[in-house]
Chain A
Amino acid sequence: MTMEQAGAALRSGQTTCVGLVQAALARVEELNPKLNAFITITGDQARARARELDIELAAGHDRGPLHGMPIAHKDLVCTKGIRTTSGSKLFADYVPDYDADVVKRLNAAGAISIGKLGLHELAYGVTSSNPHFGAVRNPWNPECIPGGSSGGSGAAVATGMVFMATGTDTGGSIRIPAAYCGTVGLKPTYGLVSRRGVRPLGFSLDHVGPLTRTVRDMELTMAAIADMREVAEPSTLRVGLPEGYYFDRIDPEVKEAVLRAARTVEVVPVKTPDIEALNTVGRVILLAEGSAALENQHARRDQFGPDVLALLDQGRLIPATDYVNAQRLRKQFVDEFRKLFQTIDILLTPTLPMVAPKIGQLTVELAGETVDTRLATTRFVRGINVLGLPALSIPCGFSKSGLPIGVQLIGRAFEDRLVMRFGARLEASMMVHRPGSVS
């Protein structure tokens, strides 16, 4: 069931807010022991809030499409009175005394949080194999990673534990779990969704956004959490399919699924700026910003997992000159992409070059090359954070091994509505069976 369908059932009297929350909590009880998607479950608060919202609805106070919908937050999004660990030992007992802006807006829209979701430690990684809270597992194959850093969000949405989950994306951390878990995930335009109250990792790269089961649910969520610009849709949408980089080193099954998706619409071949160089700029900026963000905690070395600590150490060795020059290169890339988007409205690419690897798998084979799993996972998504452009991942098929594949749709800055509108059309034309069928 989608959020839109649940809303219809709620308003026709077939269910109640309490009923929706009870069903979500029952699903969590059944599946969370296997998947470890949640760090904290707030069942009592959720049930109490659902009772209030049922009374409101009966009295004619309808808050809109999110009224009564069970959701959950990535555990680096501050929630008043509820611990917010950031997946870190450092903050294992941190209880904020305020809600993040995105939480405030979702509360006001009537959404009901049922808990806090697992993530890669401090959102600094792509596996969500957390040394302090355990590995989050992929719902399609528990031996595989769900992706990260918003791994709990991907697993919870894919299995129907919640209709929507918040995530954050600094180098792909919404789109990666969306693609690996078979959900929709949007990295909105930089700054469109407030980052206030969300623990930072890369100040100029961090984006807050949702994961949902359908693009329509994404549109409903974004309408609640962002003040989006209205965009006039062109009579003919120009969709660019890039040559080269995006299809060079890629699992053949992923390539076929993405090209199949592309064939359902009219596309034009395009040459993109140098994505490998763009990724380099993103990595240098993140290394420096990540270490700066955690500088106050850096001395507490025994509190970090080894992969995150190694990145933090390395980031402190990035000279300021490298950081400044990366920001100058960034401006050039922004200008180059602006030119590209004068010729197209949407850029269609694979979200990831492969399906979800196994937990603990350090390398993958792509086109006969052995590649570091983290670098392979981020190669199509990281650069888009440098540009700040909206990027939507939607499911476009499955591998023979039964793992989901995602297609990424990138648009012009603040044209998030247009990206979602096109995403909804593509979703309908592909008829990929829904993640709700996860057993």
Chain B
Amino acid sequence: MAIPQDQLDRITPTVDAARASLSKLVQELPFDAESALTFHPDGESEQ
């Protein structure tokens, strides 16, 4: 399905802006910054 142009006009720039902002924030991120992504080697569920 083609997405109506008005929806694309609304959403695309906001996503582009979010990515551009993120890029700036990442430039200031220390190389050893930890991630909030977690890995449980014992298979523990986050739920």
Scoring A residues 310 to 349 as 1 if CB is less than 8 Å from chain B, else 0, what string do you get? 1101100110001011111111101000000000000000
One of B7, B8, B14, B29 near A328 (C-beta < 8 A): B29
**Bound CA span A311–B7, Å:** 9
Size band of the interface chain B makes with A: 20 to 34
Q: Mark A273-317, 1 if CB is under 8 A from B, else 0.
A: 000110011011001000000000000011010110111011001
Q: How far is the CA of A332 from the CA of B18 in the complex (A)?
A: 18
**Interface pair B47/A372, CB less than 8 Å apart:** no
Contact B11 A191 (CB under 8 A): no
Q: Which of A333-391 contact B (CB under 8 A)?
A: 334, 362, 372, 375
Majority secondary structure, B binding face: helix
Q: Is the CB of A195 within 8 A of B47?
A: yes
Q: Which B-chain residue is minimally distant from A363 (CB atoms)?
A: B10
Beta-carbon nearest neighbor of B45 in chain A: A196
Do residues B29 and A196 form an inter-chain contact, with CB atoms below 8 A?
A: no
Given A277-B21, A280-B22, A332-B33, CB of A372 within 8 Å of CB of B14? yes
User: Among B14, B25, B33, which residue has the most Cβ atoms of chain A within 10 A?
Assistant: B25
B positions within 8 Å CB-CB of A: 1, 3-4, 7-8, 10-12, 14-15, 18-19, 21-22, 25-26, 29, 33-37, 46-47
- Are B36 and A309 closer than 8 Å at their CB atoms? no
Are B1 and A301 in contact, CB atoms less than 8 angstroms apart?
A: yes
**B6 CB to nearest A CB, Å:** 8
Q: Is residue A40 contacting chain B, with contact meaning CB distance below 8 A?
A: no
Min CB distance, B38 to chain A, in Å?
9
Q: Tell me whether A2 is interfacial, beta carbon within 8 Å.
A: no
Q: State in angstroms the CA–CA spacing of A207 and B11 once bound together.
A: 24
In the assembly, what is the distance between CA of A204 and CA of B46, in Å?
A: 10
A277 and B29 alpha carbons, distance in the complex (Å): 13
Q: B25: shortest Cβ distance to chain A, in Å?
A: 6
